């Protein structure tokens, strides 16, 4: 059996020449009660208009679920969840409250790199429902994540439906690309959380309202990781070819970005006109942006059989591999689209504008079946460069942190974005790389947790500075006034998820639980939604800035749910690799 409605199957037949490589990878979620709970009011105040946040640089077969896999509720989940989320500490419980998942995921032998020929459409094969593993019950902390997602979604649905981002305090929305960014970013999260009703409603919006033929400039990187990545992962999880059709459309419309003298893509594309250009103020692109679109375009080639997508992004990686201007594997932040050379040499960071270059070196190597040695060499060299030039310890707690280097001068500054690194290091160690990468991951994730724990609201600022010398009355972490905002970012929770998956140490779940409670305490808006805040150091007035980034639903709450899960097969990390927007894509296995 497939988990498809007739409507879904009809859509499949309407996409000639596309191979449906994967049947549904998780069983269709079941309905649950719309439980809602409210938190102390965030007093609306007119925040200064913040600039738009650029994330800088930050085939599978399924056995059908057993017929007896039903939604089980042991008691009133609404009351249970509301009491649970409001409590400061909750005893860890083994009670199974909801169980809906019963899928056994197996590699499908057809997951291979793209061939040059266009593939014939193929229906998911139906599989016998025998040899089924018992579904793992959803626990109370996961229920709290579901409740938080529903609360956020209620705000989006009531005040920003079909628009890019919710402004929860003013009960309105903001547009960036005008492409329903929050909705697309959240599709696979809803599938994983089991929110069937919400998913179906969002799917209808995609089918009827998502149109890419419009005269609008989009950022190549952001639209690739959020829109293309979100559509591809939702296609893999649901098996619904509507999402593949839309992915192919946006993928084609982003291709003009690669028409540059150097083949290093421009930052911006007009997806209606088919033109591309650099930002107004420079002909440079950001290194992270041009090297963090590869997972998505490579997968699009594999699914469609059209090699142009993979060819364009592989060329960028091969080019960057040969460039001079690196410092023991560390790369500068900018690259010129005309010359193809690094610019603004001598500045090295793992934060904004460089971060996901390192992440995608490892993840492309994993995605491609660990065959592309240049990617692995560049990754290993870079981690050695980090250890040699950027790794220091703070005082008084001697926390290991990753700073920045500017023209030979070390700065003890660390972006919250850098907190992706422990998770990436752990993923590499899990895939057979140096064991000391895991040790480094353990020490760095502790630091990322301290960036929350040492701050008054228990939420991390965007940037911290570490004290290198012990001073009386000073903690390890110092925050400058310009850096004390929190955008509901996912990187620390992401790394906690990897660390828990690979070690089983429940302290990582406890740390994540603290963070979720602090999001509820200081960023939750009673009428629906969560908001970024301007001041993590002021619990009595965190200064809400009236914006819910799409990645809060796409990444932060998804990683929370997976962190709290006791089911290692819920997005199994030997079968999937997450893109930098938390959208899982399948690891290719040889035919």
Determine the length of the chain. Answer: 591
Find out whether 139 and 69 touch, Cβ atoms under 8 Å: no
Q: Whose CA is closest to 190, among 176, 201, 205, 175?
A: 201
Architecture category of domain 150-176+284-582 in CATH: Alpha/alpha barrel (1.50)
3-state SS assignment for residue 83: helix
Query: Measured between alpha carbons, how far is 39 from 245 in angstroms, rounded to an integer?
Result: 40
Exposure of 70 in the CB half-sphere (CA atoms within 13 A):
4
Query: Measured between alpha carbons, how far is 557 from 544 in angstroms, rounded to an integer?
Result: 19
Inter-residue long-range contacts of 389-393, CB under 8 Å, 24+ positions, other chains counted: 389/327, 389/328, 389/330, 389/348, 390/330, 390/348, 390/350, 391/440, 392/466, 392/468
For 458, 484, 488, the CA distances from 452, given in Å and listed in that order, are 5, 12, 12
Locus of tokens 């040699």 = 388
Annotated binding residue 580: yes
Two tokens, residue 24:
């549904």
Q: What residues does 106 pair with on adjacent strands?
A: 61
Locus of tokens 């899982």 = 584
State the pLDDT at residue 20. Answer: 36
Query: Measured between alpha carbons, how far is 467 from 299 in angstroms, rounded to an integer?
Result: 43
Q: What is the β-pairing status of strands 584-586 and 477-478?
A: unpaired
Helices (DSSP H) in 271-354: which residue ranges?
A: 287-290, 294-304, 308-322
State the pLDDT at residue 136. Answer: 87
State the pLDDT at residue 589. Answer: 84
Inter-residue long-range contacts of 255-259, CB under 8 Å, 24+ positions, other chains counted: 255/308, 255/309, 255/312, 257/220, 258/312
3-state SS assignment for residue 56: coil
Q: pLDDT tens digits, the chain, 591 residues: what are they?
A: 333 333 333 333 333 333 333 444 455 554 444 444 444 445 444 444 444 444 443 333 333 333 333 333 333 343 444 444 444 433 333 333 332 333 323 333 344 554 444 443 333 333 333 345 677 899 999 999 999 999 999 999 999 999 999 999 999 999 999 999 999 999 999 999 999 999 999 999 999 999 999 999 999 999 999 999 999 999 999 999 999 999 999 999 999 999 999 999 999 999 999 999 999 999 999 999 999 999 999 999 999 999 999 999 999 999 999 999 999 999 999 999 999 999 999 999 999 999 999 999 999 999 999 999 999 999 999 999 999 999 999 999 999 999 999 999 999 999 999 999 999 999 999 999 999 999 999 999 999 999 999 999 999 999 999 999 999 999 999 999 999 999 999 999 999 999 999 999 999 999 999 999 999 999 999 999 999 999 999 999 999 999 999 999 999 999 999 999 999 999 999 999 999 999 999 999 864
Compute CA 239 distance to the chain's CA centroid, rounded to the nearest angstrom: 20
State the pLDDT at residue 16. Answer: 35
Query: Measured between alpha carbons, how far is 228 from 236 in angstroms, rounded to an integer?
Result: 12
Instruction: List active site positions.
Output: 222, 355, 462, 491
3-state SS assignment for residue 273: coil
State the pLDDT at residue 108. Answer: 38
Instruction: State the pTM of this model.
Output: 0.82
Q: Count CB neighbours of 439 within 10 A.
A: 13
285 phi/psi in degrees, rounded to 5: -110, 160
For 58, 76, 227, the CA distances from 271, given in Å and listed in that order, are 23, 48, 13
Q: What is the β-pairing status of strands 409-411 and 404-406?
A: antiparallel
């Amino acid at each position: 059996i497939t988990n498809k409605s007739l409507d879904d199957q009809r859509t499949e037949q309407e996409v000639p020449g596309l191979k449906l490589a994967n049947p549904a990878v998780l069983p269709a979620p079941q309905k649950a009660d719309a439980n809602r709970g409210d938190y102390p009011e965030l007093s609306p105040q007119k925040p200064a208009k913040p600039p738009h946040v650029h994330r800088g640089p930050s085939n599978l077969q399924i056995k059908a679920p057993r017929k007896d896999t039903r939604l089980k509720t042991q008691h009133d989940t609404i009351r249970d969840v509301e009491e649970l989320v409001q409590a400061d500490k909750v005893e860890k419980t083994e009670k199974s409250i909801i169980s809906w998942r019963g899928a056994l995921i197996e590699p499908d032998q057809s997951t291979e790199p793209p061939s040059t020929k266009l593939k014939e459409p193929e229906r998911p094969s139906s599989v016998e429902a025998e040899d089924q593993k018992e579904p793992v019950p959803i626990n109370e902390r996961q229920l709290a994540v579901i409740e938080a997602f529903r609360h956020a979604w209620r705000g989006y649905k009531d005040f920003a439906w079909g628009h890019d981002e919710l402004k929860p305090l003013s009960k309105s929305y903001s547009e960036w690309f005008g492409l329903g960014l929050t909705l697309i970013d959240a599709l696979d999260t809803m599938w994983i959380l089991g929110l069937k009703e919400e998913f179906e409603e969002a799917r209808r919006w995609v089918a009827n309202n998502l149109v890419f033929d419009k005269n609008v400039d989009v950022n190549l990187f952001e639209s690739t990781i959020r829109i293309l990545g979100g559509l591809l992962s939702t296609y893999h999880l649901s098996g619904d070819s509507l999402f593949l059709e839309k992915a192919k459309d946006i993928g084609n419309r982003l291709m003009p970005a690669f028409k540059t003298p150097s083949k290093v893509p421009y930052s911006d594309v007009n997806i209606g006109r088919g033109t591309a250009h650099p930002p107004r103020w420079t002909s440079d692109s950001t290194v992270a942006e041009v090297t963090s679109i590869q997972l998505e375009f490579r997968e699009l080639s594999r699914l469609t059989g059209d090699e142009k997508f993979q060819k364009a992004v592989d060329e960028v990686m091969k080019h960057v591999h040969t460039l001079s201007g690196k410092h023991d594997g560390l790369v500068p932040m900018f690259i010129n689209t005309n010359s193809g050379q690094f610019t603004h040499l001598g500045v090295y960071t793992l934060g904004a504008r460089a971060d996901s270059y390192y992440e995608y070196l490892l993840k492309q190597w994993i995605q491609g079946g660990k065959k592309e040695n240049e990617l692995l060499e560049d990754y290993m060299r870079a981690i050695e460069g980090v250890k040699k030039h950027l790794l220091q310890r703070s005082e008084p707690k001697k926390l290991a942190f990753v700073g920045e280097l500017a023209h030979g001068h070390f700065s003890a500054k660390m972006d919250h974005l850098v907190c992706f690194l422990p998770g990436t290091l752990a993923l590499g160690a899990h895939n057979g790389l140096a064991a000391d990468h895991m040790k480094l991951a353990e020490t760095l994730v502790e630091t990322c947790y301290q960036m929350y724990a040492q701050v008054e609201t228990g939420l991390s600022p965007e940037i911290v500075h570490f004290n290198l010398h012990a001073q009386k009355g000073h903690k390890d972490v110092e925050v400058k006034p310009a850096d004390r905002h929190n955008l509901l970012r996912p990187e620390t929770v992401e790394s906690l998820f990897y660390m828990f998956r690979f070690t089983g140490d429940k302290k990582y779940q406890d740390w994540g639980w603290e963070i979720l409670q602090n999001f509820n305490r200081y960023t939750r808006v009673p009428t629906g939604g969560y908001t970024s805040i301007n001041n993590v150091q002021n619990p009595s007035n965190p200064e809400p800035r009236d914006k819910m980034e799409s990645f809060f639903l796409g990444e932060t709450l998804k990683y929370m749910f997976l962190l709290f899960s006791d089911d290692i097969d819920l997005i199994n990390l030997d079968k999937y690799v997450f893109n930098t927007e938390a959208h899982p894509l399948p690891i290719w296995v040889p035919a």
